[in-house]
């Protein structure tokens, strides 16, 4: 119920990404683009990552952030966007999953 009418600039992933960019850092932005079942974060949620693996925001409430950060560093290097899929069905393909039983699709792209 904590709906602030103004952006929480210190915690807003897109504001942080812009700040990192201004500081000359390489940045990747991950976005939840699709969810099935009970996904912990809604479509449109962001995780932003820098080349050192620092991150802000969340795409799953903690379940798959580690894997997204690893992929994001790849994306920063290559400049090529990736579509990642996580969920119970992918447990063999991915070392991580969503314990709640949902599935999510996360788009990871480089900023700039």
- For another protein, the closer CB: 48 or 63: 48
CB crowding 63-78: b at 16 or more within 10 Å, else e? bbbebbbebbbebbee
Residues in contact with another protein, counted by CB under 8 A, come to a total of 25
Which 55-94 positions form the footprint of another protein (CB under 8 A)?
81, 83
Q: Contact between 10 and another protein (CB under 8 A)?
A: no
Collapse the DSSP code of 74 into the 3-class scheme (helix H, G, I; strand E, B; otherwise coil) and give the result.
Answer: helix
CB count in 10 Å sphere of residue 49: 30
- For another protein, the closer CB: 15 or 88: 15
Kindly state the smallest distance separating residue 7's Cβ from another protein, in Å.
Answer: 6
Beta strands in the chain (DSSP E): 27-36, 46-50, 55-57, 82-87, 103-110
Q: Which residues of this protein are in contact with another protein, per CB under 8 A?
A: 1, 3-7, 14-15, 17-18, 21, 29, 31, 33-34, 42-44, 81, 83, 107, 109-112
């Amino acid at each position: 119920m904590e709906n602030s009418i103004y952006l929480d600039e210190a915690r807003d992933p897109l504001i942080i990404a812009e700040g990192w960019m201004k500081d000359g850092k390489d940045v990747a932005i991950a976005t939840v683009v699709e969810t099935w079942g009970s996904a912990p974060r809604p479509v449109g949620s962001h995780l932003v990552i820098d080349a050192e693996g620092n991150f802000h925001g969340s795409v799953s409430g903690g379940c798959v952030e580690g894997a997204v950060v690893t992929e994001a560093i790849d994306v920063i290097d290559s400049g090529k966007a990736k579509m990642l899929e996580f969920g119970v069905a992918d447990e063999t393909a991915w070392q991580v999953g969503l314990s709640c039983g949902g599935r999510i699709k996360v788009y990871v792209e480089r900023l700039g």
